[in-house]
A = this chain, B = another copy of it.
Amino acid sequence: MSFDDQLPPKIRLLRAAAELLANSEGSAVSTRQITKLAGVTAPTLYHHFGDKEGLFDAVVSAGFEEYVAGERDFAPSGEPLEDVRRMWDNHVQFGLSQPHLYLVMFGNIRPESRPAIVADAEALLEEMLNKAAIAGQINVPPREAARSILAANVGVTLMLIAEPVEERNLELSTMTRDSMVFAVSTETARGAAAEDSGKSSVVVAAIALNAALQASHSDQLSSSELKLFLEWLHRISSSS
């Protein structure tokens, strides 16, 4: 019951809270569960942490410090924007591996209780984007870029957490990540105009696809599939 004896109660409380937060499936975690698992009584909790949220903040800080530490060890790949992408993935991974902790951190933030964690995460991203800026790789001030990317990162992570585990599609994350990094970077010639594709009917689209397919030798379909596919395309596109 009191799982970890002879450690100081403060640490036992932290561990008990972390364990319950990590394992509780959606339902809230009560102070009574925590104190029971830690083998202490209620006043001990309030003596050390002030209130329930104080305990959770402490747990979150510990978890986040750990995550940030692993982040820093592993950061410099030479390509700052690649590092930004990896920080994004790490953020998502952190949220998915400890969803309840994550929701405590980012899901319930309000103006009057904005956790320092958000600022920390922002600073970490900004630091990396600063390197990219020095290398002339971004076209937006690093602070704004960091805030923007972090916001999108949080949104994606929350969406993924909200999805049933078996339906989670990490492509949402990589796609949004690349969109954000791309939009912020100077990697591309943004001003160049594309071909005018103003027409919008089925026929026009089918003709365009038909031409494009024949020109590019797509290997997504086998040759027999392609033949039938093109025949159908022809039927569609010749039906005005």
B161 and A151 contacting across the interface, CB-CB below 8 Å: no
If A179-B148, A209-B202 touch, does A106 touch B158 (CB 8 Å cutoff)? yes
> Any chain B CB within 8 A of the CB of A114?
yes
* Listed stretches A6-14, A32-40, A170-178; interface member: A170-178
A153 contact set on B, CB distance < 8 A? 155
Please tell me if the beta carbons of B188 and A176 are within 8 angstroms of each other in the complex. Answer: no
Complex A-B: 23 CB contacts under 8 Å: A25-B112, A26-B110, A106-B158, A107-B107, A110-B162, A114-B163, A136-B197, A140-B175, A144-B172, A148-B179, A151-B156, A151-B172, A152-B152, A155-B155, A155-B156, A179-B179, A186-B197, A188-B190, A189-B189, A197-B204, A202-B209, A208-B209, A220-B239
Interface residues of A in 163-210 (CB under 8 A from B): 163-165, 171-172, 175-176, 178-180, 182-184, 186-195, 197-202, 204-206, 208-209
Among A106, A112, A150, A201, the one with the most B-chain Cβ atoms within 10 Å of its Cβ is A201
Oligomer: number of copies: 2
Complex interface bits, A214-240 against B, C-beta within 8 A gives 1, otherwise 0: 011010110001000100100110010
Q: Which A positions have Cβ atoms within 8 angstroms of B?
A: 25-26, 99, 103, 106-114, 118, 134-137, 140, 144, 147-148, 150-156, 158-159, 161-165, 171-172, 175-176, 178-180, 182-184, 186-195, 197-202, 204-206, 208-209, 212-213, 215-216, 218, 220-221, 225, 229, 232, 235-236, 239
Q: How far is the CB of A113 from chain B (nearest CB, A)?
A: 7
Do the beta carbons of A147 and B161 come within 8 Å of each other?
no
Q: How far is the CB of A236 from chain B (nearest CB, A)?
A: 5
The reply to whether A151 and B144 form a contact with Cβ atoms under 8 Å apart is: no
Contact partners of A209 in chain B: CB under 8 A: 202, 205-206, 208-209
